Amino acid sequence: MEHLVQWYTRLTLCRRTLREVLLPSSMVRVGLAMLQGARDEHAEALRAASIQLNIDIEIVELRSGVEVDSLLDCIVLPGGESTAMRKASQSESLLTALYSWMEQHPHRPVLGTCAGAILLANPGELQTPFLRAGISRNAWGRQRDSFEAEVEISLKTPSGESISPQNVKRDKFNHQPLPVGDGASLENTTSFHGVFIRAPRFDQSSIECTPVASLGEEIVGVLDGHRLALTFHPELTGDYRFHRWLLNQANLSQ
């Protein structure tokens, strides 16, 4: 077993070296944590946002800690069930590697949605939080209490060309993104269609970072440095403003 681990590690290092040599330096490398949740929808939104911004991207699907390296320009932590994500990560040390990457690269952007926001605000007992905001799991209620509502956003995002929804085929694991609508008609407003699925809630009195999205009087999105956390699912809307923000910030930090 030890021999196989060493072989896999050497293979991964070789792949990193090849990517560094063969890929253009201007390409944005997005690490997408494949723990749970709407991972494929995030990938589709990232591809659409890259087309809108005319930025070349490489989406690196992260399933193991050894796949998290310094060549990543940004990271997406998708939604799901945070407890299950922590357990699923243990065997491959993925969360440990992601947290280490965020500590080593504090100026590289991170987007965490729903459970991803929980992991940023509450990464674990021995880990310093990546957000200056407390958060509560499933605070809106059970699955049947999930809802959609218009959210007011104040985050400055780069504009992009209107494009048709991307038709993505099934991948090698037989996954396929859910159909998403075209939210381009709303992108000139400050309104955003929020999809809240067993959503967490920020502890409002504990927020010490910048609010960027609100539902009425309640803050549902925050920005702390280069870490953007949303309690809703922008990847399910066809409105790619938050994904454009991520790619643009990553492109600027290269």
List, by residue number, the catalytic residues. Answer: 114, 233, 235
Q: How far, in whole angstroms, is CA 109 from its chain's centroid?
A: 9
β pairing state of 210-215 and 218-224: antiparallel
From CA 121, how far away is CA 63, in angstroms rounded? 21
Q: What is the C-alpha separation between 36 and 105, in angstroms, rounded? A: 24
Angstrom distance (rounded) from CA 156 to CA 231:
18
From 5, 124, 28, 122, select the one nearest 76 (Cα to Cα). Answer: 28
Euclidean distance between CA atoms 144 and 131, whole angstroms: 28
For residue 72, the number of C-alpha atoms closer than 13 Å in the C-beta half-sphere is: 28
Decide: residue 214, CB within 10 A, 0-12 exposed, 13-18 middle, 19+ buried. Answer: middle
